[in-house]
Structure 1
Amino acid sequence: MPRTGRLTTATAVLAAISALATACTGQGADTASDDPKADVTLNFWHGWSAPSEAKAIEENIARFEKAHPNIKVQVTGNMTDDKINQALRAGGDKAPDVVSSFTTDSVGKFCNSRAFADLNPFLAKSGVDKTKVFPKTLLEYTQFDGNQCTLPLLHDAYGLVYNKTAFAAAGITEPPKTWSRFTEVAQKLTKLKGDSYEQVGLMPTFHGYETKPTRLAAQWGATYFGADGKSNLAGDPAFAKMLTAQKDLVDKLGGYEKLERFRNTFGDEWSAEHPFHTGQVAMQIDGEWRASMAKEAGVPFEIGTAPLPVPDEQAADYGKGYVAGTIMGIASGSKKQNAAWELVKYMTTDTEAVVAFANAIHNVPSTLAALESPNLQVTPEFKTFLDIARHPKSSSTPAKADGGTYQLTFEDFAYGVEKGDVTDIPAGLAKTDQQIDTDIAKAK
């Protein structure tokens, strides 16, 4: 299951995070006064809730406590960012010392508000060179303006999961690598049923689970902000090209209204009734978790995975994709920051710990060493996403002071494009840039 946090969830917590700006002053490794070798109990809050995931956390904590017998960890799971922020504002002995969040998009807010401590001094004191431990893209989305207030704790890569049986029946011998071929394959795999569908090759609308503008923008190599820090949606032709291509695919598969009516018949994204599982869609833009979930659902067809296609003019870059992931940090108000750092360091940088956790919950490891570990359990379907994570041109959305608000603004504009409500994309992007710049200025 993806661990990136939904943008709608991100906006719900932005105000709560902002409220921490005056309450949290934070301290660094040089000023934290607690003795990490003293007997102490840490409060660790995370968002995982499934029994297998909770078990994986407990097993990792048990390994940590064995290596650090003086530190006990009180684990609280199934915690939302909203609950975490309420506890951080309240403070006290019951507040978390260490936090893991799925909301990557809120890193800018976490750092800007000083809700989490800057980990750069802790890394330096421990002799950990973060540039040699973590992939460059992961470091970019876990810090803001030089403040490394979080570190990566596993991550997700997005690609294409497809029905190999349906491909074979349609005479398609390989997954599409370019957008033009992707469009052809999606049309060929679409089966009409009356005024609806028996199957669509792909659900291309931006409400279709993981089919988000940010996922597709990564395939075009889009740059969200210029060197001056201003929004760059109108300045980078990649955004207009992506939106035009997506709108063309929507039209060729039957149009927005017809596709949305069919999409409204789909089951929940995290249930066995997911439309890929039921055969309602033949290709799905998704993460590394989907193939294993489909197998667990008992699908009667063979599953394939591949990188998402790229624009025809960027065929040489095929293999790249969008990446994001879970973050981990230390509460600025914690009185146990040196001990808390020992836990964060272990869970995010220890190769054995990272690999064990990745194997247990089927996510992509977040360190360079773990990605290459012989102990990492790799199926053919999973290898696709490891390769996407390693690709030098894979990218993520940058951290900003307004958290994920700028992404929501872009997404709202993209909804208008695919519906046909927007006729002048460049002008609309320029207006969207203005709104994004205004929101970020207010957040600062």
Structure 2
Amino acid sequence: MPRNRRISAAAIAAAAISLLATSCVGATEDGASDDPNAKTTLTFWHGWSAPSEVEAIAANVKAFEKAHPNIKVKVVKGLTDDKINQALRAGGSNAPDVVSSFTTDNVGRFCSSNAFADLKPFLDKAKIDPAKTFLPQMAKYTEHNGKRCAVPLLGDAYGLYYNKDAFKEAGITEPPKTLSEFDKVVKKLTKTKGDGFERLGFMPSYLGYETTVEHYGSQFGVQYLDGAGKSNTAKDPAVKNMLKWQKNLVDDLGGAAKLNKFRTSLGDEWGPKHPFHTGQVAMQLDGEWRGKMAADAGLDFEVGAAPFPVPDDQVEDYGKGYLSGTILGIANTSAKKNAAWELVKYLSTDTEAVVSFANAIHNVPSTQEAIKSPKLNSDPVYRTFVDIAQHPKSSHAPSSVNGGAFLLTLQDYALKYEKGAEKDIDALLKKNDQQVDKDNEQAG
């Protein structure tokens, strides 16, 4: 499953300010003095809750305990970031030693607030070079301003799923590579019914599943922040191009209101009635997990996967996509950092552990060795996303002290533009920059 959930920009900004204002108070120094060979018990908090996911991480923890008989691990499952943040602020005997978070965008907060310990001393001692051990972009999104307080634990890559039967019926022989080709395919696959749709070629609305500014932005090469950390959307032509492309496609399909009416009739994103599963949407922007969910749903059509198209003037970069993933760190309040590091190192760098976990929960491996392993799932749909993860131009949004609030703020403005509530795109992006800079300043 994907590792990010959408909440309002105001809520995420408030959470960021709260975390940064309080987590530093309870933080200890990064230095570790415990004996990793002594008998001890670690507390490991994670967010996985589906039975297969919980079973998979439990198997890796059991293998770790076998390799480290002096360390026992108390695993607490299904933790949200809100609960994790509260525990990191409070510390105490019930707080976690090792934490995994699905919210990749929180790295900037965890690092700048010292909620997570600096991992550089541990990595250096173990002679682990993150740039050589992990996939480049995953190594990049687990540090902030040169400080590495997290490591990746599997990743997500985003691409285009398509209904091969619908393609064949429409005479489309291959997935589109450029956005102009994509727009034509979307319209060709769309079937209207009354004042709505029988089938939509693609749901481009920002209210749709996974159709967010950051997922589109990776294809355009958007530079959200400048070198000084200031919001850059009014100055980056890629942002305007992205908003105009999306708005034009929305309008060509009948407008925001018509699309939203159809959207509200669609099934749940995580259930068997997902609109791609039911054939109500012929193409879907999604991550590698969707392939397994589609297979489990027993669809009556063949599923194809490809990289999401790129702007026509960037066709040489076709194959790239948006990346994110689970992050793993050590709570700075932990008195067992050396032992905790042994668990972090095993889960994130042991090739057997990474491959088995990736296969079990259908995520992309985060290490160079694991992604080359002959034991890795060979399903061609899944492998499309493995290739996207390795593309040199695949990317994640930059880290920020305010987490992903700047992305949600831009999405709020983009939705206003999509609906026609804001018509002056230059003025809109200037307002976005002002709001993002104000929020970041408040967050520290």
Both structures adopt the same fold (TM-score exceeding 0.5): yes
Shift of 1:10: 4.8
In the alignment, does 2:84 pair up with 1:84? yes
Q: Which residue of 2 aligns with 1:112?
A: 112
Asked whether the 8 Å contact 1:142–1:148 carries over to 2, the reply is yes
Q: Which residue of 1 aligns with 2:61?
A: 61
Shift of 1:431: 1.8
Shift of 1:148: 0.8
Asked whether the 8 Å contact 2:24–2:115 carries over to 1, the reply is no
Distance (whole Å) between structure 2 residues aligned to residue 329 and residue 284 of structure 1: 32
Q: Which residue of 2 aligns with 1:123?
A: 123
Per-residue CA deviation, residues 258-291 of structure 1 (Å, 9 max, x unaligned), is 0100000011100001000111100000000112
Shift of 1:350: 1.1
Query: Comparing 7-16 with 365-374, which one deviates more in the overlay?
Result: 7-16
Q: Aligned to 2:22, which of 20, 23, 28? A: 20
Q: Which amino acid aligns with 1:70?
A: N
Asked whether the 8 Å contact 1:16–1:85 carries over to 2, the reply is no
Q: Which amino acid aligns with 2:26?
A: C
Per-residue CA deviation, residues 305-329 of structure 1 (Å, 9 max, x unaligned), is 0000000111111000100110010
Asked whether the 8 Å contact 2:89–2:115 carries over to 1, the reply is no
Q: Which residue of 1 aligns with 2:40?
A: 40
**1:291-330 equivalent positions in 2, closer than 5 A:** 291-330=291-330
Q: Which residue of 1 aligns with 2:150?
A: 150
Asked whether the 8 Å contact 1:348–1:354 carries over to 2, the reply is yes
Distance 1:40 1:438, change over 3 A: same
Q: Which residue of 2 aligns with 1:221?
A: 221
Q: Which residue of 2 aligns with 1:187?
A: 187
Q: Which residue of 1 aligns with 2:51?
A: 51
Asked whether the 8 Å contact 2:189–2:200 carries over to 1, the reply is yes
Distance (whole Å) between structure 2 residues aligned to residue 317 and residue 133 of structure 1: 24
Gaps of 5+ in 1: none
Shift of 1:7: 4.8
Asked whether the 8 Å contact 1:104–1:326 carries over to 2, the reply is yes
Shift of 1:430: 1.6
Distance (whole Å) between structure 1 residues aligned to residue 210 and residue 430 of structure 2: 26
Asked whether the 8 Å contact 2:153–2:328 carries over to 1, the reply is yes
Shift of 1:245: 0.4
Per-residue CA deviation, residues 5-38 of structure 1 (Å, 9 max, x unaligned), is 435485574244224333233333xx21100000
Q: Which residue of 2 aligns with 1:428?
A: 428
Distance (whole Å) between structure 1 residues aligned to residue 315 and residue 388 of structure 2: 15
Distance (whole Å) between structure 1 residues aligned to residue 300 and residue 71 of structure 2: 48
Per-residue CA deviation, residues 199-245 of structure 1 (Å, 9 max, x unaligned), is 00001101111011111111011111112322111111000001000
In the alignment, does 2:232 pair up with 1:239? no
Q: Which amino acid aligns with 1:259?
A: L
Distance (whole Å) between structure 2 residues aligned to residue 184 and residue 327 of structure 1: 38
Distance (whole Å) between structure 2 residues aligned to residue 238 and residue 375 of structure 1: 40
Distance (whole Å) between structure 2 residues aligned to residue 142 and residue 192 of structure 1: 44
SS in 1 for 2:177: coil
Q: How many residues are matched?
A: 442
Per-residue CA deviation, residues 25-81 of structure 1 (Å, 9 max, x unaligned), is 3333xx211000000000000000000000001000011011111000000000001
TM (normalized to structure 2)?
Answer: 0.97
In the alignment, does 2:347 pair up with 1:347? yes
Shift of 1:113: 1.1
Distance (whole Å) between structure 2 residues aligned to residue 126 and residue 231 of structure 1: 37
Q: Which amino acid aligns with 2:176?
A: P
Asked whether the 8 Å contact 2:71–2:339 carries over to 1, the reply is yes
In the alignment, does 2:383 pair up with 1:383? yes
Asked whether the 8 Å contact 1:354–1:366 carries over to 2, the reply is yes
Distance (whole Å) between structure 2 residues aligned to residue 291 and residue 265 of structure 1: 23
SS in 2 for 1:22: helix
Shift of 1:420: 1.2
Distance (whole Å) between structure 1 residues aligned to residue 4 and residue 324 of structure 2: 6
SS in 2 for 1:284: strand
Asked whether the 8 Å contact 1:119–1:150 carries over to 2, the reply is yes
Gaps of 5+ in 2: none
Shift of 1:428: 1.2
TM (normalized to structure 1)?
Answer: 0.97
Asked whether the 8 Å contact 2:157–2:288 carries over to 1, the reply is yes
Query: Comparing 41-50 with 78-87, which one deviates more in the overlay?
Result: 78-87
Q: Which residue of 1 aligns with 2:438?
A: 438
Distance (whole Å) between structure 1 residues aligned to residue 189 and residue 297 of structure 2: 22
SS in 2 for 1:272: coil
Asked whether the 8 Å contact 1:118–1:149 carries over to 2, the reply is yes
Distance (whole Å) between structure 2 residues aligned to residue 20 and residue 379 of structure 1: 46
Distance (whole Å) between structure 1 residues aligned to residue 15 and residue 367 of structure 2: 28
**1:247-396 equivalent positions in 2, closer than 5 A:** 247-396=247-396
Q: Which amino acid aligns with 1:24?
A: G
Asked whether the 8 Å contact 1:7–1:404 carries over to 2, the reply is no
Q: Which amino acid aligns with 2:255?
A: G
